[in-house]
Structures are given as C-alpha cells and as structure tokens.
Amino acid sequence: VEGINKIKAFKVAVDIPTGLDADTGYGASIFKADLTITLAEFKRGLFFSEGAAFSGEIVKGGIGIGSSFYEKQKTDDFLIEPEDVIAILPKKDKNIHKYSSGKILNIAGSGKLPGAAVLTSKASLKVGAGSSILAFPKSVRKLVHKNLTEVIVEQYDDNGKEYFSPKSISDLKSRIKWSDVLTIGPGIGREEDTSAAVTDLLNLTGSKIKVIDADGLHAINGRYKDFNLKKAILTPHAGEFSNLMGIHPEELKKDTMKYGKEFVDETGSFLVLKGAPTIIFLPSGETFINTTGNPGMAKFGTGDVLTGVIAGFAAQLKNIEDAVIAAVYIHSLSADLLLKKFTEFGYTASDIIDNLPYAIKFLRKSFA
C-alpha cells in the first residue's frame, strides 16, 4: 500500500480505501485515494479521522439494491446537509428586541489572553444574538475595551491578578442569572485559582445552557463526572478530549465514535469534537458529521469564534441540538466562502467572524 501511494497517478478506491476501517475511520496503512466510489451506500468511516484524509472525493456507486431498502434501515450517524441548517435557522419576528433575541454572558479572557475574549463575545452578535456581555478582570479591562464597541464589558474584581478566581464570581451572580447562555473558558488561563473558579461556576449554574471550551475544559480534566453537564456543550479538539477522558490520543483515534458516544451517554452533555471534520455527539446517541470547512481554519482563534457562534444560536433557539448543528456548519461555511477572496493561508479568525452574516445569506439564497 505504501508503495502504491508513492506512485504519481490518479487513484480510485472501490467501496473503501484498502486498509481503512469502514466504521471507525482508522487504519495503520491506508491506500490514499483521489476518488472513492463507495458501493450502495455511504460508510461513516469515510468521512472522519483517517477516512477524511485518505478517501478523496466520495461518490456512491449502485450495485442493484434499491434505495427503499436503505430507507428502512436505522442509523444514528448523519452528514450535515445545507437543507438541514436552513430549516433550523432562527426566525426574526418583527416585535423582538435585543434581550428577547438572546442574552449571553462570556466568562473569557485574562491579562495574558485577551484576544480569545474579544473573538468569542463578538462572534455571537454576528449570528443574530441580541446582547453579548464579556466578564473581564477589572485590572486589565483596557485590553479589551478598545476592541469591543457592541459588546458590554462587565468587570469583576481580580485584585490585580489579571485572571478569574472564585472571589470573582460574586461580582457576576446577577449577570449569570440574567443570561440565557454562558460561555466559559476561552483565554481564562490555567491558574489554580481559575480552575477552582470554573468548578464553583459549574456547580452554581446547574442546568443553565453553557458552552465550555479551552481552559474551561482543562479545569475539569478527569473530573467531568463530578458535574451536572446535561445542558452543557463541550467543544474540545482531539487533544483536549483525550485529556478530559484520561485516555491516550492514539486510543481516541482508533475509535473516535465509540469514545464520543460513551461520553455523551455518561454525561448527558452535547459534545462538539473539533477537527477535520468536526463531529457533533448528541445525548440521544446520534452523531452529525460536518461537511464544511478547510485547512485554513487551523489557526489561533477559530475555536474561540466557534464558541461564540454556538452561544449565539443557542441563545436564540433555546434548542441545543439545533444550535450546535447550525453553528458548526455556518462557522465552517464562513471559512469556505473566504476562499473566494483569500487562499487557505491568508485569512484569520476575525475574518471568519466578519463573514458570518454573508455565510447565512449565502445559505438562504442558495438552498431556501
């Protein structure tokens, strides 16, 4: 297989690339196809992990089995299609106002990492949320003020430490109660006090909808079973998810679907496993594999933007399943549409934010 992969030719795989597991998307030595003609019906392993990297373009080839046969079969694994997203986008009634269209409190950023807070809190407004408030350390509030014109900055007392700590929570209790959705983690840092504050915050907020990312995930590594995560949306990449679960990254790679489904079954949470592609795991047992995105997204800040986009849709829809599906698809669609102006080398997380309204307009115009 390795020898064939070195040959410079257009390569076609029939059904699945040699060496690839059709269920797990894993393989130790896999034929690298430019085109895969998969027989009768799609196999899930073609669309994620090594399957996404080695299958090339994927098309179905008929073998005489009618579509009615497959329509009767049950599956829990789906590809996100544009029509699915169109159907769940928030509707804007004429009598809405800035608070009825979604209230978000972002507990994000620190003196060392202010940019993550800016990206997260801005992104939710660009997908239609009405109000986004950033909770930020008082001693360094000037780091974000100049970059946020539409986002309110709610400062908390940090005693000059420049980061979130358990004592900071009392300053935010009224805003926590006010919010429809919390974001917790982007750029807050990994100080011992900060991790303790995340623990206290999760215990305080109970079943409130929350998006937990980055340093928020780090704070609960190996302890996720201790918390009520039934309305929590966790957004790790593979490395963060391995740390959260306490397993080696190579083990996760061998059967991503198994570990993702076990996690949401155990916690009742919603898992957005970021990668190429991103996979959404629902507590119902269903998974949704994203079909948008490109390698240019592998940059600082794109995950912070996704956190804000998820929060923005969750605050409007009040339906977590619909929110994560719409957010993941549109976030990556925004990046795909940037390739009309830039190469995969040339755009940033801020460009993705600025392009979000166009992505929504493009989707409605093209598929409505």
Q: What is the CATH number of the domain that holds 157?
A: 3.40.1190.20
Residue 33 lies inside a defined structural domain of this protein? yes
Query: With bands split at pLDDT 50, 70 and 90, how would you rate the model's confidence at 40?
Result: confident
Residues 249, 361, single domain; the answer is yes
Residues 206, 337, single domain; the answer is yes
Among 73, 96, 115, identify where a domain stops. 73
Residue 320 one-letter amino acid: I
- Mean pLDDT (whole number) for 91-118: 96
Residue 79 lies inside a defined structural domain of this protein? no
- Mean pLDDT (whole number) for 183-212: 97
Query: With bands split at pLDDT 50, 70 and 90, how would you rate the model's confidence at 64?
Result: confident
Residues 160, 230, single domain; the answer is yes
- Mean pLDDT (whole number) for 210-214: 98
- Mean pLDDT (whole number) for 24-29: 95
Residues 101, 50, single domain; the answer is no
> How many domains, in total, are found in the chain?
2
Query: With bands split at pLDDT 50, 70 and 90, how would you rate the model's confidence at 47?
Result: very high
Nearest to 22 by CA among 6, 38, 10, 2: 38
Residues 6, 116, single domain; the answer is no
Question: What is the predicted pLDDT for the residue at 69?
Answer: 74
Question: What is the predicted pLDDT for the residue at 65?
Answer: 79
pTM of the full predicted structure? 0.95
Q: Which domain holds residue 25?
A: 1-73
Residue 314 lies inside a defined structural domain of this protein? yes
- Mean pLDDT (whole number) for 222-244: 97
Residues 159, 34, single domain; the answer is no
Residues 62, 104, single domain; the answer is no
Among 73, 107, 125, identify where a domain stops. 73
Average pLDDT, the chain: 96
Do 134 and 117 form a contact (C-beta atoms < 8 A)? yes
Instruction: Please give the C-alpha separations between residue 338 and each of 27, 74, 247, 346, in angstroms, as whole numbers.
Output: 33, 37, 36, 9
Residues 263, 297, single domain; the answer is yes
